Structure 1
Amino acid sequence: MADRTLDVSGLQCPMPLLKTKLELNTMAPGEQLEVVATDPGSARDIPAFIALSAHQLVESAVDGSQYRFVIRCGDSVRQSR
């Protein structure tokens, strides 16, 4: 179960990724963020960002035109601000 949910449905690239980054910056290491998006670019952008960050992609799913990601916040978030 995620600690927070971020619904960026209806937003187009690059807003889903930017809002995801901003939300993660406010979270403590170990907390989980669920992101719900409708922009097809999110399926590529969010996992690519996570792969280059201290965060971990716990789960991702596609249901029709809805993309869902669960991200575990990494330890270096607070240090990188």
Structure 2
Amino acid sequence: MHSDMLLYDRRLDVSGLHCPVPVIHCRAQLTLMAPAETLYIVGTDADLEAELARLAERFGHARLKSWRENGRVHLLLQKNVRQQAIGDDWLLRLARRLGLFGRGPRRSARQAGLLA
């Protein structure tokens, strides 16, 4: 299946990143999205599918589709329609601090202290 054949609102490429960084990126994007919008995620981490399945289950997002192709994991998530989870504001502050989007310097996960 090709990503150009899918309908989605946002795309997130976390190729080359290893957990927990892709999950942080994904959760930050979902926090910014409106209810019922879809997020297409592609990455290379072998555990990405399982980690994002847990994230979706925990926060009530729907996992619409997932597959592996050419050594990459592809997922399509739909943001939950219930109100934003309590505590997501800390995630936005962390994402900005890491420079994932908006203000703040860009730093690697190792520089940010997420990895030993």
Query: Normalization by structure 1: what TM-score?
Result: 0.91
Q: Is this contact kept in 1: 2:39–2:76, CA < 8 A?
A: yes
Larger strand share, 1 or 2: 1
Asked which structure has the greater RCO (Cα within 8 Å, sep 6+), the reply is 1
Matching of residues 1-81 of structure 1 within 5 Å: 1-76=7-82, 78-80=84-86, 81=88
- Which 5+ residue runs of structure 2 have no aligned equivalent? 1-6, 89-116
Aligned residues: 81
> Which one is further off, 23-32 or 35-44?
35-44
Distance 1:24 1:42 in 2: 16
RMSD between aligned residues: 1.3
Distance 2:8 2:38 in 1: 5
- Which 5+ residue runs of structure 1 have no aligned equivalent? none
Distance 1:77 1:57 in 2: 18
Q: Is this contact kept in 1: 2:8–2:39, CA < 8 A?
A: yes
Q: CA deviation at 1:77?
A: 5.0
Regions of 4+ moved over 6 Å: none
